[in-house]
Structure 1
Amino acid sequence: MKAISASSEVLMHFTIKLEDGSVADSTHNAGKPAKLVMGDGSLTENFERCLLGLHEGEQSSFTLAPEDAFGQPNPDNIHYMDRRQFGGDTPAEVGVIIAFSGPQGQEIPGIVTEVSGESVTVDFNHPLAGKTVIFDVEIISVQ
């Protein structure tokens, strides 16, 4: 059986859970495994390091501190916007996730965390920033 190396193509199921057991993301929800090419940037280096050496059919679980997972929240990623910039398709309501256009035209999701008068607070940090996560993997195939 092949082990995962730095250049492997991996087919796997994964679940990312928080310490309280709630599921943040899982390939089981979609009913199909994720395909990953090691080093392609779809997973952080720390997540990839967890996979190195695992074999087809192997299941494993890793607990990652915030620094090793999605990082700590960055105060520079919290923006205050004028309520008039919202409307119709993008309501200014707490908990709403809105995709904004970044400088290179990429979509950047932000979550509305506060609405006060004409000011809307939008947090562009990753939703799992600052959280310890449990990364459960089941390796289906290694190429």
Structure 2
Amino acid sequence: MTEAKSGDTVKVHYTGTLTDGTEFDSSRGQEPLEFTLGQGQMISGFEEAVVGMTLGENKTITIASGEAYGERNESMVQQVPRTAIPPEIKLAQGMLLQAQGPDGETLQFTVADFNDEEVTVDGNHPLAGRDLTFQLELVQIAE
């Protein structure tokens, strides 16, 4: 049987869950996820798990936070004045905000908390510091 290898474009159905069983993402009921192995398009642990799989194979893997979205960095949680957020934005906990960094890059933040004076924003990826479990099914390999 053909095994998926670096350079192959693959299609994978997946379901991602946290250690408590909470599902955070899934391709089930949608098109499978397509990516090219060896291109760094996926978190490393996910991609490494697909290498060597055969067509139709199912596998469950757990990726430690360090191999997924990294550990949480508390220095990326900051308070900003409410006046720094445009007044037309209706804030809600968990909403995503974007800002432009000093070098012109787009920065993404999650609203962690807010009041009339301050907004607490978190620049960590929402899955940072979390171990992730994926149920994988390899549905296509194209060399």
What TM-score, normalized by structure 1, do the two folds share? Answer: 0.87
* Contact 1:90/1:98, CA 8 A, preserved across alignment: no
Q: Give the deviation of 1:43 after TM superposition.
A: 0.6
Partner of 2:58: 59
1:9-24 → structure 2 map (5 Å cutoff):
9-24=9-24
Partner of 2:92: 93
Partner of 1:121: 120
Distance 1:116 1:134, change over 3 A: same
Structure-2 separation of matches of 1:38 and 1:137: 15
1:45-84 → structure 2 map (5 Å cutoff):
45-84=44-83
Letter in 2 for 1:82: P
Distance 1:94 1:50, change over 3 A: same
Aligned to 2:60, what secondary structure does the other structure show? strand
Task: Name the Cα RMSD after superposition.
Answer: 1.9
Farther off after superposition, 133-142 or 33-42: 33-42
Partner of 1:8: 8
Structure 1 segments unaligned to the other structure (5+ residues) = none
Percentage of pairs with the same residue: 29
1:20-39 → structure 2 map (5 Å cutoff):
20-28=20-28, 31-39=30-38
* Contact 1:83/1:92, CA 8 A, preserved across alignment: no
Deviations 1:1-47 (A, max 9, x none): 32111211101111111112111111125x11111111223212222
Aligned positions, number: 142
Q: Give the deviation of 1:81 after TM superposition.
A: 1.3
Q: Give the deviation of 1:109 after TM superposition.
A: 2.6
Structure-2 separation of matches of 1:116 and 1:90: 13
Distance 1:104 1:47, change over 3 A: farther
> Are positions 1:139 and 2:141 aligned together?
no
Deviations 1:48-92 (A, max 9, x none): 111110011111010112112211111232232110122444333
